[in-house]
Chain A
Amino acid sequence: MLQCIFLLSDSGEVMLEKQLTGHRVDRSICDWFWDQADSFKSLPVIASPTHYLFQMVRDGITFLACTQVEMPPLMAIEFLCRVADVLSDYLGGLNEDLIKDNFIIVYELLDEMIDNGFPLTTEPNILREMIAPPNLVSKMLSVVTGNASNVSDTLPSGAGSCVPWRPTDPKYSSNEVYVDLVEEMDAIVNRDGELVKCEIYGQVQMSSQLTGFPDLTLSFANPSVLEDMRFHPCVRFRPWESHQVLSFVPPDGQFKLMSYRVKKLKNTPLYVKPQITSDSGTCRVSVLVGIRSDPGKTIESITLSFQIPHCVSSADLSSNHGTVTILSNKTCTWTIGRIPSDKTPCLSGTLALETGLERLHVNPTFKVGFKIMGIALSGLRIEKLDLKTIPPRLYKGFRAQTRAGEFDVRL
């Protein structure tokens, strides 16, 4: 089981250490870790001379966990991810300052989440009841009164029930339940412009504020498009197996009901046509972006980014629409926004190669970003959401959105 968790800032400083068992881990292990070569350091599971290290990097914060004995590595990694999720939920993001400013909350959360190296309470709804998240009211209160405990005196009611994700008897004057389909499109376009892979990775996110102990049923109009799925623990397996219906008692508040994958899509909403020609030490680049198949809704916040190869000494790129920025680490980002109706956005310019190089022998990969509100590109449709006992004043709502996931266009 885990012996220690360290939180490292992006400069390698140990911001927090939480010893979990009696086998204390000295923080010199972090120095050892930080001194390793990059390729080795980026491994999620590292065998150091004294400990096995598991690491997970989120928003510049390295979560490092140590153990000395056999344990499922995925368990450690999943747990670290869960810690990161909870922390960013509590602190409203993750960065060095937020962690340092709220280190007491981080300690309290870690103590609640893991006991003797084994996860204890990881359900966000219960944690929220045990340790109050810092909000404006509590902050003001602490300033005014100088005393506002964020640690609850009582055990959350859900902690012991058979539905640990739900407090036993929440009460709301208006009952609301919202279903949100959030999809990400993963696509690879190869050098010949062919669509090699195109699939949707989606989530059914819900937000429920329902009185009592509601029993919900969510059914899809076309469940057959779903290739793979994973469910929140509240989903009962049996009804899904027999007639592909999601039956569950929802947690209170926001949660991810299921995630799914739809494979082998035929089309991407956008096309990206990059061209590069190199001759005697300079390359001409031109990239065209346009709508391939209109999804029926506006495609927003289109971006295109790529890594300028190392052998390029200087780049001069401009566009007829949107803005182009080149960062010091040679990442070029072209923010397009929406596609204008009158012209096709085009990025063009030249790259100067290092002296001695005639031609560019490596080709960058363009990453595409976009967002479409109000549509699920996978074609998955929710048929209905039923409640076994309908509470008074019930509002149901459905939404959908699609954005780009791993959308790569190779050159």
Chain B
Amino acid sequence: MFNQFGSTAETLSKASAAVLRIGTDAHLYDDPEDVNIAPLLDSKFESEKCEALKRLLALIAQGFDVSNFFPQVVKNVASHSSEVKKLVYLYLLHYAEKRPNEALLSINYFQKDLGDPNPLVRAWALRTMAGIRLHVIAPLALAAVSKCARDPAVYVRKCAANALPKLNDLRLEEHASAIEEIVGILLNDHSPGVVGAAAAAFTSICPNNFKLIGKNYKKLCQILPDVEEWGQILLIGTLLRYVVARHGLVRESLMLSLHGLDSNGFYEKDGVVRDERDGDKRDLFDANLVSLVSKCYIEGPDEYMSRDNYGETVAASFDSKETTSVGDNEDVKILLQCTSPLLWSNNSAVVLAAAGVQWIMAPLEDVKKIVKPLLFLLRSSTASKYVVLCNILVFAKAVPSLFAPHFEDFFICSSDAYQVKAHKLEMLSLIATTSSISSILREFEDYIKDPDRSFAADTVAAIGLCAKRLPEIPTACLNGLLALVRQESFAGDLESVDGEAGVLVQAVMSIQTIIERDPLSHEKVIIQLFRSLDSVKVAAARATIIWMVGVYCSLGHIIPRMLTTITKYLAWSFKSEASETKLQILNTAAKVLISAEVEEFQMLKKIVLYVLELGECDLNYDVRDRTRFLKKMLSYKLACHEPAEDSVASHGNIAEHVVEHVFGRKLKPFSPLALHNRFYLPGSLSQIVLHAAPGYEALPKPCSFVFEEHDHLSDSARQREARDDLNGSQESSETGDEDGSSEYDSESYNGSDFSCAGDERNDANDANDPLIQISEVAVSTDQEELRSKMALDLWLDEESSSSNQTPSALDRNQSSYAKISVGDIGSRVNPKSYTLLDPGNGNGLKIDYTFLSEVSTASPLHVCVEVLFQNSSTEPILEVNLEYEEAKKESDSAEQTLVGKANASYNNVPTLIRMEELNCLEPGQSAKRLIQVRFHHHLLPMRLSLHYNGKKVPVKLRPDLGYLVKPFPITIEEFLATESRLPGMFEYSRRCTFTDHVKDTRMENGKDKFLSICESITLKVLSNSNLHLVSVDLPVANTLEDATGLRLRFSSKILSSEIPLLITITVQGKCSEDLNLTVKINCEETVFGLNLLNRIANFLVETSSSASS
């Protein structure tokens, strides 16, 4: 351990410093690169590997890119030390997406670990495998997840649930339904821990697939209290959404309390509630706001607000069919019951989520039980305090009375953050009632003295709001505020004091808000303000007061008499004002002039003219513009001598009307309600940031989900079966693999129409001319056959001599099996056909396609595909053609790296060599055409457009991996030599079972069992891929029944890169039973090799009737 400190003097000091932090990883973090990491990774000691990995993690933590160590790190995934494994996983997950090809090297180890008896190892492997996020391994990961979803260990199942969103994140359409199915299985799990994670997966994958919830709704409610806290948060939301979608909102709830549901006498009940509470009616709740809130919850504020007439639709009631009642709806009742104890949860997010359910669904009388738990949350961490306050504010805006008795909880502590203080102030001004206002105001007085001046300014604003809400208190407030203005205007002398000006401005504004309600009775206050003009030095505050001069210039008796003096004062001070104030002086001058009395008109006119002249030569262009504008507007006024005269003289003068409108208009009471009330679901991120965050969904439309009982039964029965299966088979790795591969097969490759398409194709072939097809294959594999024949003959000679069985009932094609040639096999090779277009979509035009093993004439990258057109309609189909559709740039990184390797020299060859156009296809007629295609990616389908009858239909041509290789004729020696050059990471294997031979051996009793096994495997392989059979090995010491040790070797080259690819199939098991095959591939191109491996394993497992026909 100490050796890394080195022995030089300078590192000794480092060592002494490290003594204090001995045993920690401190030195690794401080100097991660003081030793050479690479050799450590290759060390044979676990401790050295561990240290190297720690150094790498230190570099990651510090933000360095160490992805260049990837290949070396990946190798260590096989380590048995749990710490090394953990560290490798941490590293892998960090870089897997950057290095997809190397990441694939680790897949085999994950697969191995997935079968480990230790659940922790299984869970880690699953987490990492799913976390690597590569499209190419998605099918494997999905298979692993579906296997782990049935794992006996709860922890593994939980990790499986967590892995689902990772797979879903890859956006593979073909896996969507499989993923959702697993979500369903996990939601039905009996362990609460799994259900919680499944709820999270549900929320992120398919939040609106209510069928999955419907099946288990009651069970989910019952299990909810036992679910882990994090799962609870999301499960509560899910259950709420389900109930709303299924049953609609609750009639008695707050959300619907104001909609005209006349039938049930709701208003009487409401009345009772009203009487119980002592405050005045205004405090109970803000009717419009509550219905606005409920509308927003259901529709989302953005949609809702964007409607022009939302103000009117507020009153529109919900259809009473879309509502339900707690009394007679069991589901709603259960939901409320199971969420209410969660208000006592230790986790504040759970409390808030539960409170959200009660808020939306609970009957009005019960909503108040959320108050105390919510207030208790205010005593948690600063960060959560802020979020809780934001939510409480919404609740309080709608129903202030809920929180009114608890105003003391919103008193401000000195340790509160500024935002928390501001929210508390808003809260206090919202919930103040006549009984509490005196204590609240006393608090406010304290706050004004707070050293944080912007907070003090907010307090002053809050006082204004309070006074506005409660008309009984303004006199007290106003006196306080006026005193403040006087006091501040002295203190305000000091420009150096931060935010001091803000308090003064706020004070003036607050006074203005209060006066606005009833200016006449506050005349004296206005006059006092005007008098204080001289002492108020802050520009914004002055501007506000001057603005008030303009607005209230004709109010009462005293003000008009003061006007001349005030205007004179303003004109006098104009030069020294800030431009903000200058603008207000100009406005006020105009207003004063318009409403001027006869006797003062001349005087005022002079003053105004003076001000305008000053303004015209101001330095600020805004002021100059405003001046010119006013001068033009007021020209008619300035020209005349008497104020009354103008109305007669300039009758119909447009300018006058405009001026009246602009300056003479009385203030309208301004309601801020609609402007910034955006409501999102309680507890959501959107409610905090006040815009819909990506992924935000409002509640579903009430009663949008119709529940089918039938479905429920059949599905649950099926799931029970699945569970029984699990109990029976107990997680042996073989069954797991089988399970996985069947999943893989049905989902990833061919979609649902796969099997039936194949059958149809065979029928069609029989009906037509099967010989053509077969002979083509035979021709194309000519050379391969010759070679295979040699190998086979070699072996067959031996075989026939050792076992003297003469086959009697042989396949009709052969007279004697001893003379079997691959040519015969070739003639029996029956390539699979796929459907391009089924007649249902193509108005009777049916198109199938088959991959040919023929070598393309265009370029080595092209694959020959035979397309069979069939007209099954009653009318002829004209001008049939297939064209390549320019691919939309799919920025799939994996795809690009793979395409990038394609030989650039062939890039000028078109992707699709077009076929000869079919001019006319008579009813019942079928025709074959040959097209040559270059696939961009070996897994992704190619988009083609089909033209017929003048129409264009997009179709997808899916590549068959087996035909993206070409036979590579080599001898067994060459094969073995190549194989030995491709060990370790270039070698991967998979196991599968093979059953085709069973039928064969039963049918043909006399035939040699090994032969028929060998034959059926070869047939199966050659029917599905374009390979060369190199050799067949037979073990020396074997009984007649035991086929173990039989080995078939195939070779091929990848079309696009010419890289050799070797396949070895080893047989294990008894002849008459299902065989276990191990398929091994050696190839440098790991991605392709892995995929082909899976493909081979899949088609070997598949039982097909065509094999022996």
Contacts and interface: CB of A to CB of B under 8 A. Distances in A.
A116 B387 contact: no
A74 interface: yes
Interface of A: 1, 14-17, 19, 21-24, 27, 39, 42-45, 47, 52, 54-57, 67-75, 77-81, 97, 100-105, 107-108, 111, 115-116, 118-120, 122, 134, 138-140, 142-143, 146-147, 149-155, 159-162, 164, 186, 188, 190-192, 196-197, 201, 227-233, 237, 240-241, 256, 259, 261, 307, 309-311, 354, 356-357, 361-365, 367, 406, 408, 410-411
Nearest to B418: A39
Contacts of B418: 39, 42
Interface in B140-185: 153-155, 158-159, 162-163, 165-166, 169
Interface residues on B, range: 35 or more
Residue among A15, A78, A134 with max Cβ neighbours from chain B (10 Å): A78
The 3 closest A-B pairs by CB, nearest first: A139-B23, A160-B154, A44-B383
B118 A154 contact: yes
Interface string B694-707: 11110000000000
Given A77-B387, A154-B120, A230 B344 contact: yes
A365 B691 CA distance: 37
A190 B155 contact: no
Residue among B89, B127, B166, B229 with max Cβ neighbours from chain A (10 Å): B229
B941 interface: no
Contacts of B694: 68-70
Nearest to B456: A362
A103 B344 contact: no
Contacts of A410: 446, 449
B1105 interface: no
B162 A120 contact: yes
A14 B63 contact: yes
Given A230-B346, A230-B351, A307-B451, A152 B22 contact: no
24 contacts: A22-B97, A27-B63, A42-B418, A45-B386, A69-B694, A70-B685, A70-B695, A73-B683, A77-B384, A102-B24, A103-B61, A104-B87, A111-B90, A115-B159, A116-B131, A120-B159, A139-B22, A139-B23, A152-B82, A155-B120, A160-B119, A188-B413, A230-B344, A361-B487
Contacts of A79: 230
A72 B166 contact: no
B317 interface: no
Interface string B115-139: 0001110010001001101000000
Contacts of A81: 381, 383-384
Nearest to B227: A233
Contacts, number: 297
Residue among B233, B234, B415, B446 with max Cβ neighbours from chain A (10 Å): B446
Nearest to A150: B83
Interface of B: 1, 21-26, 28-30, 46-47, 50, 54, 57-58, 60-63, 81-83, 86-87, 89-90, 93-94, 97, 118-120, 123, 127, 130-131, 133, 153-155, 158-159, 162-163, 165-166, 169, 191-193, 197, 200, 204, 225-226, 228-230, 233-234, 237, 341, 344-349, 351-353, 372-373, 375-376, 379, 381-384, 386-388, 408, 411, 413-415, 417-419, 439, 442-443, 445-446, 449-451, 453, 456, 487, 491, 493-494, 496-498, 683-686, 688-689, 691-697
B490 to A, nearest CB: 8
B417 A42 contact: yes
B225 A237 contact: yes
B230 A122 contact: yes
B208 to A, nearest CB: 14
Nearest to A165: B228
B457 to A, nearest CB: 12
Nearest to B351: A230
Contacts of A188: 411, 413
Contact of A45 (B118, B169, B685): B685
Contacts of A190: 442-443, 446
A144 to B, nearest CB: 8
A123 B948 CA distance: 64
Contact of A75 (B83, B233, B372, B688): B233
B1 A142 contact: yes
Given A72-B237, A101-B26, A115-B127, 11 more contacts: A68-B694, A72-B234, A103-B28, A107-B57, A120-B162, A120-B197, A143-B22, A154-B120, A159-B193, A410-B449, A411-B449
A74 B450 contact: no
A233 B26 CA distance: 37
Contacts of B94: 19
Contacts of B375: 228
B383 A56 contact: yes
Contacts of B692: 70
Contacts of A19: 93-94
A362 B451 contact: yes
Contact of B387 (A71, A74, A192): A74
A104 B54 contact: yes
Given A16-B61, A77-B383, A307-B451, A228 B376 contact: yes
A44 B225 contact: no
B230 A310 contact: no
A39 B499 CA distance: 14
A159 B226 CA distance: 14
B61 A228 contact: no
A365 B414 contact: yes
A16 B384 CA distance: 23
B685 A1 contact: no
Contacts of B153: 155, 160
B30 A55 contact: no
Contacts of A186: 379, 413
A72 B341 contact: no
Nearest to B385: A44
A155 B155 contact: yes
B82 A153 contact: yes
B227 to A, nearest CB: 9
A146 to B, nearest CB: 4
Contacts of B445: 191
Contacts of B158: 120
Nearest to A28: B63
Contacts of B696: 70
A335 B680 CA distance: 48
Residue among B24, B345, B684 with max Cβ neighbours from chain A (10 Å): B24
Nearest to A44: B383
Contacts of A24: 97
Contacts of B496: 354, 356
A233 B342 CA distance: 10
A75 B349 contact: yes
B388 A103 contact: no
A77 to B, nearest CB: 5
A357 B25 contact: no
Contact of B684 (A70, A78, A147): A70
A78 B155 contact: no
A103 B28 CA distance: 9
A100 B26 contact: yes
Residue among A23, A97, A153 with max Cβ neighbours from chain B (10 Å): A153
A284 to B, nearest CB: 17
A15 B169 CA distance: 29
Contact of B230 (A17, A75, A77, A259): A75
Residue among B93, B453, B683 with max Cβ neighbours from chain A (10 Å): B93
Contacts of B413: 186, 188, 406, 408
Given A27-B63, A72-B684, A164-B228, A232 B352 contact: no
Contact of B685 (A73, A140, A143): A73
A411 to B, nearest CB: 8
A364 B450 CA distance: 7
Contacts of A365: 414, 450
A43 B386 contact: yes
A371 B907 CA distance: 81
Contacts of B693: 52, 69-70
Contacts of A361: 449, 487, 491
